[in-house]
Chain A
Amino acid sequence: MTVAVEPYLRARRGEGRKLLVPYVTGGLGKHWLEVVRAVVDAGADAVEIGIPFSDPVMDGVTIQEASQRAIALDATPRSILMEAASLDVGVPLLVMTYYNLVLHAGLERFAAELAVAGIGGAIIPDLPLDELAPWAEAADEAGVETVLLAAPTTTPERVVAICERSRGFVYGVSLMGVTGERTSLAAQAGEMGARLKAVTDKPALLGVGISTPQQAAEASQFADGVVVGSALVRRLLQGGGPSEAADFIASVRTALDAG
């Protein structure tokens, strides 16, 4: 059952809850579906499933390595979506991938495959607002919500336009850089969150570089919640499975709930 992203996140936010969206690389090991279920049980409000691409320019070394490993394990967009279709976790699922894989599958076909697989949203970090139209049309038609990213460099006018066109939530890039763990929360995170909150009522999440429960709690002061990717994926690359993933996400959940 597809869970629509935006209504679900709005409802959760309405309960006074800070939103937590973990990222899991699809096809990374045979337990990856169990990892998705485990992070949901541990308190995720939605899950991003990465469809690995050979040339992920918005990703740092952790997700690069996870992507390469998943591809080496024969993960394909189709195999990941087929497997994901068996997930019935009660929270929204989104894919995060790069435009070439979408284009290669065909826009309408890819959007339809997401819908059939029970995926409610898509994040395509190399498809900015200016190039969005063909995909957005196909995604809207299929009922797939396309989440747009805003960055610290984004001009005020663009932030407004991005928030207007984004569906599901708005993804604020919390630093200047690509995904990957950092030792502290970037100084730009607070301003990014505040800029989004000032212009949109849609759920606004901060992501990229948010690495620890403490950083997540700190970032969530400026926004409606956080996306946590590399810190989780690193644990999986180091041999962790569903229980290690659950422990980590539960610790982030606890920190967010404590404020």
Chain B
Amino acid sequence: MSVPVRGGPVHLDPPGPEPTGLGRFADFGGRFVPETLVPALEELEAQFRTAWGSDEFRAEYAELLGSYAGRPTPVTECHRLSDRLGIRVLLKREDLTHTGSHKINNVLGQAMLTKRMGKTRLIAETGAGQHGVATATAAALFGLDCLVFMGAVDVERQALNVWRMQLLGAEVVPVTSGSATLKDAINDAMREWVASVNTTHYCIGSVMGPHPFPWMVREFQSVVGAEAREQSRAILGGADPQMVVACVGGGSNAMGTFAGFIDTDAELIGVEAAGLGLESGKHGAAIARGVPGVVHGMRSLFLQDEDGQVLEAHSISAGLDYPGIGPEHAALAASGRARYESATDDEALSGFQLLAETEGIVPALEPAHAIGWVAREAGHSIPKDTTVLITLSGRGDKDAAQVAERLTGERLQ
């Protein structure tokens, strides 16, 4: 692959490894859904496998990623941040995509499949609103109806994104069941899908849910890692970064990034939301504190009580406020190929400010966890002069009001 440059053609890596059996990544994954959905998932799997193996589909997808989503995104070397931390930091700039986060990569692929399946409507769940906005965007582009489920708590804290989705023609449904956050938005989206599966595609926003979603979403996000690998090598004189770091909620930006480096020597690190601290019980660290279970159609790791009831997650960032994790991450953690760390709400806020001050880049609160973790560990568990690639999964405009209120104690007018 030639080095991807902004405005240049989009290159995709060849298709990555398929899960084994019925969507298994080692012991994780699978398809645990009501019978009503089984035929639709079988159809989706068949359609995706055919499309992803077809040069025509891949060319059309790559073209759309370029002409519409603004790919390739650059890798930026962070000189001032590197000086500050005593390591060498590269950022993969998913914040520069259309709609401002990596979510667009996945929804464009799924919208293309929706058309191929002859369905006319997209539904989606959203936490921070990034995936909801991306789905509403793709729906507008492809002329599809769109319904977005969003926890009532998140509707409150992400008012700007709610309005953006409405502007794009989507209907936003505030979800009041359960904890009224991302987990419950997924529940309601699945319930709606059970009722409307003949005409509707459920555009899941992360590497989670029943097979084929974890595999398919990883593949649609793998362009992030494929580009980042070539761009990093160009900057590092042919070498891979020693460490590749990304935040994980469900884990799609991390999985897409890791996919590009899985066959290199780079150490892969996912950063979970430690919320108020791992010992506080108020966090979103499913790998650090979860146990195996089956929720949202997949076997993976989930925060649960002693009976197996799913616990509410906590994170300052709505996008990491999820008590589970994609099954491939659970498998990578079990095999040791990737390592999972965590950063607290406060560390994410520090990362948010640090990147703004040193590089003029305002990150979303989700990747601010990755920045915060790297900043905390630089010179400690990350040795001096280590080369570190961080995926900046989205931009921070959506979080500005919330962070301002948190830092100043006053609400922006």
Contacts and interface: CB of A to CB of B under 8 A. Distances in A.
A178 interface: yes
Interface stretch (A35-43, A55-63, A247-255): A55-63
Interface string B7-41: 00000000000000010000000111111111110
Interface stretch (B229-237, B256-264, B272-280, B294-302): B294-302
B36 A131 contact: no
Contacts of B299: 103
A143 interface: no
Contact of A100 (B33, B37, B308): B308
Contacts of B310: 54-55, 100
A61 B175 CA distance: 11
Contacts of A101: 307-309
Contacts of A149: 34-35
Given A154-B38, A177-B195, A178-B191, A126 B307 contact: no
A150 interface: yes
A190 interface: no
Interface string A116-153: 00000000011111110000000000000000111111
Interface in B181-220: 183-184, 187, 190-191, 194-198
A8 interface: no
Contacts of B35: 125, 128-129, 148-151, 153-154, 162, 173
A178 B178 CA distance: 17
Contacts of A104: 291, 293, 304, 307-308
Contacts of B307: 76-78, 101, 104
Contacts of B67: none
Interface residues of A, number: 43
Contacts of A130: 22, 31, 38
B110 to A, nearest CB: 20
Nearest to B32: A126
Nearest to A127: B32
B195 A178 contact: yes
A183 to B, nearest CB: 15
Contacts of B304: 100, 104
A128 B198 contact: no
A126 B195 contact: no
B358 interface: no
A89 B299 CA distance: 36
A176 interface: yes
Contact of A154 (B39, B187, B297, B309): B39
Contacts of A155: 39
A148 B35 CA distance: 9
A185 to B, nearest CB: 16
A64 B309 contact: no
Contacts of B34: 57-58, 125-126, 128, 149, 151, 173, 178
A43 B209 CA distance: 41
A167 B162 CA distance: 47
B292 interface: yes
Interface residues of B, number: 38
A176 B196 contact: yes
Contacts of A129: 35, 38
A176 B177 contact: no
B32 A99 contact: yes
A235 interface: no
A153 B308 contact: no
A53 B183 CA distance: 14
A251 to B, nearest CB: 28
Interface string B395-413: 0000000000000000000
Contact of A57 (B190, B291, B308): B190
A176 B31 contact: no
Contact of A103 (B38, B294, B296): B294
Nearest to B176: A61
A131 B37 CA distance: 14
A78 B293 CA distance: 18
A154 B195 CA distance: 14
Nearest to A177: B195
A1 interface: no
A246 to B, nearest CB: 30
Contact of B194 (A54, A71, A77, A176): A176
B39 A58 contact: no
A68 interface: yes
A154 B39 CA distance: 7
A105 interface: yes
Interface string B282-294: 0000000001111
B97 to A, nearest CB: 31
Nearest to B304: A104
A165 interface: no
A68 B178 contact: yes
A158 interface: yes
B296 A55 contact: yes
A16 B33 CA distance: 35
Contacts of B38: 128-130, 151, 153-154, 158
B178 A55 contact: yes
B80 to A, nearest CB: 45
Given A57-B191, A99-B32, 11 more contacts: A57-B187, A57-B296, A64-B177, A100-B295, A126-B32, A131-B31, A152-B36, A155-B39, A158-B39, A173-B34, A178-B194
7 contacts: A64-B178, A77-B308, A100-B295, A103-B293, A131-B31, A153-B38, A173-B34
A-B complex: 4 closest residue pairs judged by Cβ atoms: A104-B308, A177-B195, A151-B36, A54-B309
